[in-house]
Structure 1
């Protein structure tokens, strides 16, 4: 490495960051700042270094100093808003983004407006983002990435016609974009008169350059063929897409299942009976389970009365558990993360979680619909003793078929191989059995099949358990009109409640035999 005399001091600092020498980078930045406390470039570098070591508050403070020293730099304000989102300070991030959109520098600045719109989406405000995306289009025109982001926001807010129109525009410029092909296939049910099956087949036959895009094209084809009732061909396409997607991933199913077991082992009945001072001021509702089991439908029923709002599917709880676990571990490599987590300051965890998630919902009483929070049921109870946990259950084979035929992009790596999917499902089912055992009466199971066959009855049962009023004048099975749903099932959840998906895996029983055998060996009964 060159000495500071041979290159600029700030470049030397960024070299330290690239080498992973984060503490040394902070010390270097502090020395530079002591000599030049109003140097914008120095302050930005020091903010980056503080972020690298995990000192987010100091990173924010240094960046704020850089904004002031720069006279209110627009790019630095946008960077600050993004940092506030990362810190789960969504109210502050949204306020800064809204303030910035009205500044002279943002007017007509398409790139800035695009970034500010994305911040709004990350604050769980897709409806507010749409206008900013549209303003960005005035300046930038029909940029493919901008059109896609706009379509996603429209998809979340229920403007499916608008989303499809913008996806068509994008695909006119980037016809192989698999993520856009897949999203377009999901915005509505395809019909014999209006579908893209032939075009998708032609595109796949001619070759799609990127593996990620090829996977998206296969999943799009599978979804459209299933809509048209061509179930065997749909299964073939999904298998092809899953294999391509799995080839792009580095993933160890054994390690993931072992991690699930380790959490359950750490939170035994004895551990759950140990006193923990949690944050009692908050009473969130967690909706947990496997994806594609009706979690969004249950969320929709809960919000219809207006007494609770959705925070979406935030990663907050898992991220905070990881952060507080590192602190509790104290640099002791011999202690497993699950064991170390028992030393967490659960009151602080619950307080910080409730603050951030309530800002995502815009309400003090909120729903967290991140399905994989099932893994943290024991920690939720300790950190938030007044939380209500709802667990969606569904026929295991139906559940896995619904998961397998969905492209999740960067999530749920276990979902692209039937053998891995089966192993993960068994680990999940065993974890939930454990939580029921060590937290008796602490989790309410809600069967998907009951939810779609008797939405009114299930709504009354669930609302009562959540200490929310049941309003007999509300049709809980009707399609919602206004709420945003930031989830892959945003289109399906806007339909009236139906039971079309119950037993949907039965037509593929032979091809799903490995799953059924895995479940039978684990003692799980498919209905």
Structure 2
């Protein structure tokens, strides 16, 4: 009987290997689907051994990879890694593939599994894990993991300290960020990422005298550093075309070895300098080139989809919705929103001069909560009850707990939150909304002249900006009809031409008395992390009002006002 069992075992073994060879032959002939089907059948074979199962999973992984089905291959590789606990290198392979496909969560899990199996692994593993944790938004855990890489004596520690500094900056712990960048520079005084980030921190606090030498130091190391050249363009106003910054940027743009990102950055900077010199034709030409390049890094703006989103928001957050769905939170946070470049940062800075108002910065809290719903927004909120929205409000105040103290009003300034006022008023029924609004043409030019995030895909084209502007008006008018007592509109032009009256009215809306410190906003040394970084460091100037008049020869043919139905 024992002999029969041995013969049967070897027969089955031979049969199994023969089937695997058949699938490999099919794969070599690019018959991937047939090969995969046969392997899946083989996987269901009774009494299949652990090693045989691992071999099949490995074949399935490789076949799908060769067939160009990388996402499917990832699933098989993950199953293989779970099955083959004695081979932790599969987790590293899964990490590399996941990262290449932008699957950050899976990349993180893969590295954590690898570390679990190989606790004495290379410090580079911890560095890669920390980097991906930062990408996922888990900043605190990323910091702890970077520290573990330092504890393991990772090489090139200046890079680790620079990354730590970036995280502290995002956490609004600027002093710790500065310490980290300085530590990086103690280790390597020529580490340009640390120099650039430290200069950026000083820019945010309005310390030009500290920022400029750092940018100059970068340029002494690398005279073609596009970011340093671009930032230097914003340090002070160009008076004429002989400005050395114009010459340096022009020379670099004429070279043939720049990436699209570098070209885009430099054309925006050069356009700004020409605008300073009132050489408007040259300025518009540069800015147009910058936007044409920038358009490549984003998906096309679809007006129909934007109109549908507005319709969906209006239909979802109906008047009836707010009578049955809302949290129990009684706090009164102030949300400033509206179009980008409509004066929201200026308004925030002025209001925060008041002794009873504190800014929490430009937070992405609401956006993250929407992302957690994993698609289908805004209709996805229909599945949520009041307890869910109460929890959102609780999570919000837990997150900003380290910032707010006492009985102060808090301001959350994020322009695109105008899209999410329905969710905001559901989670914070007593919240106050301030809508900053600006003349269409001035607003459009200001956005068009600014290098912005790729997610703002409307910002690369004047007509698309005008369309987005019109949809923003339509939606804000709807919110205004729902919350007439809780939504206040402030016109940018009024804010800069008559700030005392404009701010006084806003304070009255909030139930606060006048505070003269509101007009001393440009003397504050807080950190500003928006495109208005230098505008709010100067006393109010009127050159931004009717700025579009300088570019009417380009705007008039577009007839942008046709979008304002």
Cα distance, 1:256–1:153 mapped onto 2, change above 3 Å: farther
Residue 377 (structure 1) aligns with: 421
Q: Does 1:398 align with 2:442?
A: yes
Cα distance, 1:304–1:340 mapped onto 2, change above 3 Å: same
Cα distance, 1:30–1:429 mapped onto 2, change above 3 Å: same
Rounded Cα–Cα distance in structure 2 between residues aligned with 1:304 and 1:107? 45
Rounded Cα–Cα distance in structure 2 between residues aligned with 1:87 and 1:253? 27
Residue 71 (structure 2) aligns with: 19
Map 1:158-197 → 2, pairs under 5 A = 158-192=206-240, 195-197=244-246
Rounded Cα–Cα distance in structure 1 between residues aligned with 2:58 and 2:374? 38
Residue 331 (structure 1) aligns with: none
Cα distance, 1:181–1:77 mapped onto 2, change above 3 Å: same
Residue 340 (structure 1) aligns with: 380
Would you say the 8 A contact 2:104–2:135 is kept in 1? no
Structure of greater Rg = 2
Map 1:253-264 → 2, pairs under 5 A = 253-254=302-303, 256-264=305-313
Map 1:74-113 → 2, pairs under 5 A = 92=140, 96=144, 105=153, 109-113=157-161
Cα distance, 1:203–1:78 mapped onto 2, change above 3 Å: closer
Single out whichever of 15-24 and 300-309 deviates more from structure 2: 15-24
SS in 2 for 1:190: coil
Residue 442 (structure 1) aligns with: 486
Cα distance, 1:165–1:457 mapped onto 2, change above 3 Å: same
SS in 1 for 2:373: helix
Would you say the 8 A contact 1:113–1:133 is kept in 2? yes
Q: Does 1:302 align with 2:351?
A: yes
Would you say the 8 A contact 1:218–1:240 is kept in 2? yes
Would you say the 8 A contact 2:499–2:519 is kept in 1? yes
Cα distance, 1:235–1:445 mapped onto 2, change above 3 Å: same
Would you say the 8 A contact 2:58–2:80 is kept in 1? no
Q: Does 1:123 align with 2:171?
A: yes
Q: CA deviation at 1:213?
A: 1.3
Q: CA deviation at 1:405?
A: 0.8
User: What is the alpha-carbon root mean square deviation over aligned residues?
Assistant: 4.1
SS in 2 for 1:391: strand
Residue 504 (structure 1) aligns with: 547
Residue 513 (structure 1) aligns with: 556
Cα distance, 1:71–1:439 mapped onto 2, change above 3 Å: farther
Residue 451 (structure 1) aligns with: 495
Cα distance, 1:509–1:42 mapped onto 2, change above 3 Å: closer
Map 1:414-453 → 2, pairs under 5 A = 414-453=458-497
Q: CA deviation at 1:202?
A: 2.6
Rounded Cα–Cα distance in structure 1 between residues aligned with 2:213 and 2:116? 39
Structure 2: 5+ residue stretches without partners? 1-35, 40-52
Rounded Cα–Cα distance in structure 2 between residues aligned with 1:240 and 1:8? 49
Q: CA deviation at 1:283?
A: 3.4
Rounded Cα–Cα distance in structure 2 between residues aligned with 1:199 and 1:139? 30
Q: Does 1:237 align with 2:286?
A: yes
SS in 2 for 1:511: helix
Rounded Cα–Cα distance in structure 1 between residues aligned with 2:129 and 2:330? 30
Single out whichever of 299-308 and 419-428 deviates more from structure 2: 299-308
Rounded Cα–Cα distance in structure 2 between residues aligned with 1:309 and 1:45? 45
The size of the alignment, in residue pairs, is: 503
Residue 529 (structure 2) aligns with: 486
Residue 335 (structure 2) aligns with: 286
Q: Does 1:319 align with 2:359?
A: no
SS in 2 for 1:512: helix
Residue 265 of structure 2, aligned match among 216, 234, 254: 216
Structure 1: 5+ residue stretches without partners? 327-335
Q: CA deviation at 1:294?
A: 1.0
| Higher RCO by CA contacts (8 Å cutoff, separation 6 or greater) | 1
Would you say the 8 A contact 1:176–1:213 is kept in 2? no
Rounded Cα–Cα distance in structure 2 between residues aligned with 1:182 and 1:431? 36
SS in 2 for 1:441: coil
Would you say the 8 A contact 2:349–2:521 is kept in 1? no
Q: CA deviation at 1:429?
A: 1.6
Would you say the 8 A contact 2:301–2:464 is kept in 1? no
Q: CA deviation at 1:512?
A: 0.9
Rounded Cα–Cα distance in structure 2 between residues aligned with 1:463 and 1:410? 35
Q: CA deviation at 1:416?
A: 1.4
Q: CA deviation at 1:21?
A: 6.4
Residue 333 (structure 1) aligns with: none
Cα distance, 1:268–1:115 mapped onto 2, change above 3 Å: closer
Rounded Cα–Cα distance in structure 1 between residues aligned with 2:563 and 2:125? 56
Cα distance, 1:275–1:116 mapped onto 2, change above 3 Å: same
Q: Does 1:135 align with 2:183?
A: yes
Deviation string 1:156-207 (CA, Å, 9 cap, x unpaired) is 1222233333223334444444443322212332334855112222332334
Q: TM-score, normalised by structure 2?
A: 0.75
Deviation string 1:392-431 (CA, Å, 9 cap, x unpaired) is 0011111111111111143422111112222221122212
